[in-house]
Every structure is written in C-alpha cells, then in structure tokens.
Amino acid sequence: MSKTAIVTGGSRGLGRAIALALAEDGYDIVINYAGNAAAAEDTKAAVEAHGVKALTVQGDVSDKAAVEALVQTTVDTFGGVDVLVNNAGIVRDRLMRRMKEEDWDAVLNTNLKGVFLMTQAVSPYMLKARRGAIVNISSIVGEIGNLGQSNYAAAKAGVIGLTKASAKEFAARGVRVNAVAPGFIETDMTAVLSDAVKEQLVAGIPLGHMGAPEDIAEAVRYLVSDRAGFVTGAVLDVNGGMAM
C-alpha cells in the first residue's frame, strides 16, 4: 500500500534531507515550499530517484487558505496523508530592544501558527483513518533560549507545547505527534553566521561539530515509523550534547 508524507519547507536544508529519507522508506512525498521553485524541483527529482512519487506545492504555511489547498491537493493526488512533518521555519534575529513587531509576527506566524494550521488541516484525515504520525521541528533555542532570538525561541517553545497538546488530543485515535529539537545544523539558515560565531557555538557542543541535515532526517524517520509506535508527545534532542 502506498503511503504519503507532506514535508513543509521541503525544498532545502533539513526539509530536503527529511523528504529524501522518507522517500527511501517508500513514502510518496509532497514538497511544500515558500518561493524557491528551483530548489523544490531539484528536491522533487532527487525524491523520484528513490522510485516514489513526488509533488511540489508552493504555499505559505501561515496562510490558512494555502494550507487547506496544500492538504486538499495531497489528498486528491495520493488519496490521503499518513505523515506530516512541520519543518518550514524562518529567523528574523534582533535584540529584544530593537525587534520590530513585524519581526515578531513573521516568525510566530510561520514557525508556530503554521504548525497549528497544518496540524488542524491534516487532522480530519488522520483521525478518520485512525493512524498517522506528525513530527514538528522545534529547536534547541526553544528549550534554552538565545540572544537576539526572542521571537524564534518563543515560537519554538510554543511548538513543544503544541506538540504535547495535540499528542494528547489525537492519541485515542492512534495518531502520534512528536517533536525534534535540532541543535546547530549546517543549512542556509546557519550559513549566515560568521566563522567566529560558529567557532564559539562549536566550542559549546560536546561532540565537537555542527550537525548535518541527515542527523535530523534520521530522527524524523524513526519517529514516523512503527518502531516508534509507543512514542508520542516526546521531544527528541538532536544537538551533539549542547543541552542535556
């Protein structure tokens, strides 16, 4: 039987690695993205190389109509949705004193409201099917905070609360909801950090290096699989020991 996974922000970085890992496990993949169509098409080709089907869908996860269209397109194309990975995320870093209201709103809307809207949109299908797995990508910053990231830390801490609330709501119908909290991973999001900042960060990582997108993809692959059949409401830290 075919199985389908939606990966929000699946075009680049962690989302691309997650899409590829789930494709390897036999999922047809819906690759959602915000604006970078070329990256999404590239990921689609890489997913299809694993012998599964792939679809790219542009859409802003903070826009309810776009989210509903994304889920409807998925169901129309593949007949259902078995896995949702809420991965899309942005940063708008600024010290609290200088943070603009629009920096706060943009990050909370994409990183937290987006997870709520996507979860709400897939829930009727998963609850009716009495199966499904959702993985929300939080962050170490949601657990321990960070300078200049009050918006991001609040959103990612919110994702953990939302994960646990939805895990409790959906458990009776066999739908599991978990979070992964990555530490510092090499993607476009962290490429903007200066070498000096990276060195300082790495000094605080007991394993002595930043993570790779595949490190996060492996955690997601586990959490959506039957091997994690008794795991729900959990937050899996994948951070090289940076916080424990």
Active site residue ranges: 152
The structure tokens listed for 224 are 């959506």
Question: How far is it, in rounded angstroms, from Cα 138 to Cα 149?
Answer: 14
Nearer to ligand NAP, 101 or 226 (CB): 101
Which 3 state secondary structure label does DSSP give 209? coil
Nearer to ligand NAP, 88 or 236 (CB): 88
Smallest gap from residue 42 Cβ to ligand NAP (A): 10
Nearer to ligand NAP, 15 or 229 (CB): 15
Smallest gap from residue 234 Cβ to ligand NAP (A): 16
Question: How far is it, in rounded angstroms, from Cα 46 to Cα 197?
Answer: 32
Q: Where are the alpha helices (DSSP H) in 81-208?
A: 101-108, 114-129, 140-144, 150-170, 188-191, 195-203
Smallest gap from residue 140 Cβ to ligand NAP (A): 6
Residues in the site for ligand NAP, rule: CB under 6 A? 8-9, 11-15, 32-36, 39, 60-62, 87-90, 110, 137, 139, 182, 184-185, 187-190
Question: How far is it, in rounded angstroms, from Cα 86 to Cα 6?
Answer: 8
